Amino acid sequence: MAELDASEFRSLITSVFPHLTGAVFRLTAKSWDSMAVDVDDTLIFKFPRHLGAERALVKEAAVLDIIRPSLSMAVPDMRIHDGPPIFSSHAKLEGEHLIAEDYDALGEGNRQHLADDLARFYAELHELDADRLRSAGAGAIQPWKSPEAVRTKALPLLAPDIQNFAQAVVADFEALPPDPYGNVYGFFDGHGWNMAFDYAQGRLNGIYDFADSGFGPLHQEFIYSNFISPDLTSRIVSAYEGLTGRKLDRRRIAILTGFHRLSELAELADDPLNVEQMTRSVAAWAAASRLG
């Protein structure tokens, strides 16, 4: 599939939504799978970059149709337009990304409210009907790199003082028994770049980008908020335990967090544009683990 330019995005969108001819179009994101276009700060259009991304976008819209009515949290009401090319549209969820520095500046009440909202979001997702979701196309989440691949590709890229930490993480990961709660349908992407946070109100307005959602080990759901703050993860886990009666293993979550970052580093080890960022991510988690 050929990459589209800005004028082609505008032409495709206005052919379906002619009333947007005079609107302001802004390219907001370019991921591995899709290009996102913001129109008048009120609508988001996603354009897949390859055939696999087209299938993923159609699946995401079908899954959202099932989960949206069961969630307290706002998620996109996505519509698919057949094109060609296929693209999606949905109303923009108002809010900004939630990153570590901004979380650290939140007050105690807003931190706890955020954790409670996310815990309820996960609890509601994990109770959804698995068969209905599978019929909509939901499948297993993407596997991580193997421990051997991590040792070969990721560990040599780390500073010597972090390599010992990383070796221990890999060994701990290999020793983990199967998740005691098995697999659930989950989001599995709950970092702050998929959140619409209202800083004026101190509230999370919604969550988006369900392309990576699917069936995976329950404890893995709780690792991604560590990109924001281990404090947030701890609060989410406690609130989730209160809502569901499930007792979560915090050590397992910490091990999975570390191995996930090493797996990402191994995956991008030969990518000079991203390897430095992944190396910093591992180092940040190592530092946070030592402080914890």
- State which amino acid sits at residue 30: K
CA distance 257 to 230: 10
Mean pLDDT of all residues in 38-52: 91
CA distance 221 to 237: 10
The model's pLDDT over 209-265, given as tens digits with 9 standing for 90+, comes to 998 899 999 999 999 999 999 999 999 999 999 999 999 999 999 999 999 999 999
The model's pLDDT over 169-202, given as tens digits with 9 standing for 90+, comes to 999 999 999 999 999 999 999 999 999 999 999 9
pLDDT of the residue at 4: 58
Residue-range domain boundaries for the chain: 6-91, 100-291
Check whether 290 has a pLDDT greater than 80.
no
Asked whether the beta carbons of 56 and 211 are under 8 A apart, the reply is yes
Binned at pLDDT 50, 70 and 90, residue 33 comes out as: confident
Q: Which CATH class is domain 6-91?
A: alpha beta
The model's pLDDT over 112-169, given as tens digits with 9 standing for 90+, comes to 999 999 999 999 999 999 999 999 999 999 999 999 999 999 999 999 989 999 999 9
CB atoms within 10 A of CB 201: 11
The model's pLDDT over 57-115, given as tens digits with 9 standing for 90+, comes to 999 999 999 999 999 999 999 999 987 889 999 999 999 999 999 999 999 999 999 99
Residue 140 gets which letter from DSSP? B
Check whether 22 has a pLDDT greater than 60.
yes
Query: Residue 39: beta bridge partners?
Result: 25, 43
Give the up-direction half-sphere exposure of residue 83: CA atoms within 13 A in the CB hemisphere: 17
- Domain 100-291: CATH architecture, name and number where available: Alpha-Beta Complex (3.90)
pLDDT of the residue at 279: 93
The answer for residues whose C-beta is within 8 angstroms of residue 255's C-beta and 6 or more apart is: 169, 172, 173, 176
pLDDT of the residue at 51: 87
pLDDT of the residue at 53: 87
- Tell me the two tokens of residue 192: 């702050």
- Tell me the two tokens of residue 100: 């570590």
